[in-house]
Amino acid sequence: MEKLPKVALPFIIGAIILVVILAKSAVTIDSGEAGVLFKTFGEGVVTDEPPMAEGFHIVAPWNKVYVYEVRQQELFEKMKVLSSNGLEIQIDASAWYEPVYGDLGNLHQSLGQNYLQRVIQPAIRSAARSVVGRYTPEQLYSSKRDAIQDEIFAETKKILDKQYVQLNEVLVRDVTLPNTIKEAIERKLRQEQESLEYEFRLVTAEKEAQKQIIEAEGKAKSNKILSASLTDKILQDKGIEATMKLSESPNSKVIVIGSGDSGLPIILGNQ
């Protein structure tokens, strides 16, 4: 193979240098990401311009680009905290968070790419300890889970204020109590339920008794009024009316003979 002419050597070296420069200058920002530019010979981290958006970018080879995920991300945490009476409670929680897009440069300058470990994890742990410490294990087990979730979110959000991080939600997935405490709470809840059920039966029985008394009193008053209104003449007319209806029935054979002691007809028949 013939040696390359000496005149071509500088062009080859230049081409190699150009390829290296382009390789170091080309930056691709993937979907859901953004870049923070660091100017080595300038003011350092660029904070007064929007982050580098998705796509292909060319930067000076002596500068650096730090890529951040700007989608919503999730942090899972298992925390052991103390209740108001000093018992150890395990909280399984998750936090949804994302960096504030417009402040990505400030986030990089003040906290760096490990901002999750620097501020978010300590914030949610501190908030969980503070909130759970206000409640008893019984409250945490039964009725206050939604309340502590909202309070942990509010306190964590307050701690992260001005940290260039946006907290979207905190979810308390599970509250684990010591087995002895959990069993004692369940026994107490069962006893309370049985007591409420017994009280309900007593109230129901009392209402039923009152109803029967009212009905009996009403019936007694009705009978008293009816007895006062009945006369021999009315009874005789009612008896005659009933006898006439029986005589008109096709299924009855009725013979009326004289009258009874009360002045009512005597009815004889085979039906």
- The 10s digit of each residue's pLDDT in 113-155 is 999 999 999 999 999 999 988 888 878 776 677 888 999 999 9
Pairing of strands 88-99, 165-176: antiparallel
- Whether 69 shows a pLDDT value over 90: the answer reads yes
Check whether residue 163 and residue 80 sit in a common domain.
Answer: yes
Structure tokens at 215: 């009905």
Are residues 117 and 161 located together in one domain of the fold? yes
Cite the beta strand spans of 2-82 per DSSP E: 26-29, 33-39, 44-45, 55-58, 64-69, 73-82
- Contact between 25 and 58 under an 8 Å Cβ cutoff? The reply is yes
Q: Where is average pLDDT lowest: 70-79, 172-181, 246-255? A: 246-255
Mean of the pLDDT values across residues 27-49? 91
**pTM of the predicted structure, to 2 decimals:** 0.61
Is position 240 within any domain? Answer: yes
Q: Could you list the residue range(s) of the whole structural domain that residue 105 is in?
A: 73-177
CA–CA separation, 258 and 218 (whole Å): 38
Percentage of the chain exceeding pLDDT 70: 66
Q: Specify whether the CB–CB gap between 148 and 127 falls below 8 A.
A: no
Question: With 90 as the cut, is the pLDDT of residue 94 above it?
Answer: yes
Output b/e per residue, 14-45; b: 16+ Cβ within 10 A: eeeeeeeeeeeeebebeeebbbbbbeeeeeeb
Structural domains counted in the chain? 3
pLDDT at residue 1, rounded to an integer: 44
Domain-located, residue 254: yes
Domain final position from 69, 85, 116: 69
How would you classify the pairing of strands 73-82 and 64-69? Answer: unpaired
Residues 157 and 250 grouped into a single domain: no
**Domain final residue, candidates 177, 193, 212:** 177
The string over 46-58, giving b where at least 16 C-beta atoms fall within 10 Å of a residue's C-beta and e elsewhere, is: bbeeebbeeeeee
Residue 134 lies in a domain: yes
Tens digit of pLDDT for each residue in 190-240? Answer: 666 667 776 777 778 778 878 888 877 777 777 677 666 656 666 566 666
Position 38 pLDDT exceeds 80: yes
- What is the mean predicted confidence (pLDDT) over 25-40? 90
Residues 19 and 104 reside in one and the same domain: no
CATH of the domain at 151: 3.30.479.30
**175 vs 51, which has greater pLDDT?**
51
Same domain for 138 and 166, yes or no, is: yes
Residue 11's Cα: distance from chain center in Å?
69
Confidence at residue 189, expressed as pLDDT on a 0 to 100 scale:
63
Q: What is the mean pLDDT of residues 58-85?
A: 90
Q: Is residue 218 included in any domain, yes or no? A: no
| 113 and 23 housed in the same domain | no
Radius of gyration over alpha carbons of the chain, in Å? 46
Higher-confidence residue of 224 and 95: namely 95
- Whether residue 222 lies inside any domain: the answer is no
Evaluate whether residue 1 is within a structural domain. no
Whether the CB-CB separation of 88 and 82 falls below 8 Å is answered with yes
Asked if residue 268 has pLDDT above 50, the reply is yes
Arithmetic mean of pLDDT over the chain: 79
Query: 36 and 91: one domain?
Result: no
Is there a domain that residue 115 lies in?
Answer: yes
